[in-house]
Structure 1
Amino acid sequence: MSSQGWDPYDETPAVLGLVPVEGRGSLPFALVHGESLVASASWALSTAGIDLYDLSVPFEQVREAGLVLVVHDPLCPLTPASFLAECVTEAQRTGAVVVGVRPVTDTVKAYAAEASGVLRLGATVDRETLVCPTSPVVLPAAVLAALDSLEVDDLAALVASLSERFPVRHLLAPALGRRVVDESDLAVLAALSAATATSSGSVGVDSDGLPDGLPDGGLSPDGPG
């Protein structure tokens, strides 16, 4: 696999990766530990041995290549590379779409609309039965081949659409795989990753609070485990 990304004319088998930014505003270009969210997500894919492909390559060509496709949301920028690789392995093993998810922690209420149009709250939904899609979404080659198009602006909507046609498996993403929705969320994620690196006995931490061996301003998306 080429470090320069996927070459559609290279016959070497590969797993393809895509980091979409459309529909996400400017947040994918915000910084976490000195790197943009897009760069962090792309780095994680490369570290997992996944070839990024250029969006200039027509979808039809990607679909017909017979390869697994990993869609990695840049709003989950510190998802460990090891988790991405685990999701790919599961998709290859089962032939199902594999989705990274996190538990739902907010209170969720059922509701009903009355004839007057007023919404009336109902019972509290058991959060244990709910998950929140995060990243990645891994599409096996057979699933990709069956699609006419691929809409990646909203991964939750993509998962809902795929689940109507294909088997979908959920894998629990680690805490560093959480999704950010704004700058305050991003600050929490950065603090979590720094605290995780500091407390991990398996990863050394330098004076900047980053894992040993990394350049200043960059935190490996593979994380400290």
Structure 2
Amino acid sequence: MTDTLFDPYEDDPPPALGIVLDVDRGSLPYALIHGEALVACAAWALGEAGVTPLDNGITWDAVRRADEPVVLHDALCPMTPADFIASCVGRALAEDVIVVGTRPVTDTIKRIADGLVGETVDREGLISIVSPVVLPPSVVSMLADEPGTDLVALVASLATTHRVVLVEAPASARRVTSAEEIAVLEALTAG
């Protein structure tokens, strides 16, 4: 079950650190949307949300010692609105939970057995993980290593030991996997 937008902060959001995930995504994070690289748009969204993007040279140990939430933002979700990111940070801090942006699955999903395409899976219970994934300081301090670049694997792993709240993200937060999907997202976010 997904929750809705949460904003306990009327003024400035609390400090948070952010990582734009562009590794293990091929060259797509450097494709253009609205004339800018996807990775740049993702970094700007963090900044507009009051999240400090981390440089590659910062060690995970330094991040853990900062005692701030960490926002993982997939470069392939470049148009995730800043207010949605800030809302997720607020929720993670207020409730000491991992907050995960999700979108409903709209594609047809089929089961495959023994190399044969089988029955259609009911989409009703399926979600797609998008950005952000916000780790509260309590979770960050417990992670010995960086969280990695696979958000689905990370959320699945952390859900076994921590409370995870799924929040439906706006359509503009959708994840793109091709030039054609970038064109659709660009049209969706024009103007």
User: Which TM-score band applies after superposition, normalised by the shorter structure?
Assistant: 0.7 to 0.9
Call closer, same or farther: CA 1:120–1:29 in 2, change over 3 Å.
Answer: closer
Please list the CA deviations of residues 12-50 of structure 1 after superposition, one character each: whole Å capped at 9, or x if unmatched.
x72101102110111111111111111101111111111
Percentage of identical aligned residues: 49
Does 1:190 find its partner at 2:186?
yes
SS at match of 2:166: strand
Question: Is 2:171 aligned against 1:175?
Answer: yes
Q: In structure 2, how many angstroms separate the alpha carbons of the residues matched to 1:90 and 1:14?
A: 13
Q: Where in structure 2 are the equivalents of 1:19-30 lying within 5 Å?
A: 19-30=20-31
Unaligned runs of 5+ in 2: 1-13
Distance 2:139 2:22 in 1: 23
Taking structure 1 as the reference length, the TM-score comes to 0.75
**2:10 corresponds to:** none
Aligned ranges 1:92-111 → 2 under 5 Å: 92-111=93-112
Instruction: Name the TM-score, length of structure 2 as normaliser.
Output: 0.87
Could you say what the CA RMSD is over the residues aligned between the two structures, in angstroms?
A: 1.5
Cα deviation digits, residues 36-70 of structure 1 (max 9, x gap): 11110111111111111112111011012211000
Counterpart Cα distance in 2 of 1:19 and 1:75? 10
Offset of 1:160 from its aligned partner? 1.4
Within 1, Cα distance between the matches of 2:115 and 2:26?
Answer: 31
Is residue 144 of structure 1 aligned with residue 145 of structure 2?
Answer: no
- 1-structure distance, mates of 2:179, 2:120: 30
Q: Does 1:129 align with 2:130?
A: no
Deviation at 1:111, TM superposition (A): 4.4
Larger Cα-atom Rg: 1
**Structure in which a larger fraction of residues adopt strand:** 2
Q: Secondary structure at the match of 2:71?
A: strand
Aligned length: 178
- What is the CA–CA distance in structure 2 between the aligned matches of 1:72 and 1:163, rounded to whole Å? 18
Please say which of residues 76-85 and 102-111 is displaced more in the overlay.
102-111
Give the equivalent residue in structure 1 for 2:43: 42
Tell me the distance in 2 between the aligned counterparts of 1:108 and 1:27: 24
Give ranges in structure 1 of 5+ residues lacking alignment.
1-12, 113-117, 198-225
Higher relative contact order (Cα pairs below 8 Å, separated by 6+ residues): 2
Amino acid corresponding to residue 27 of structure 1 in structure 2 = L
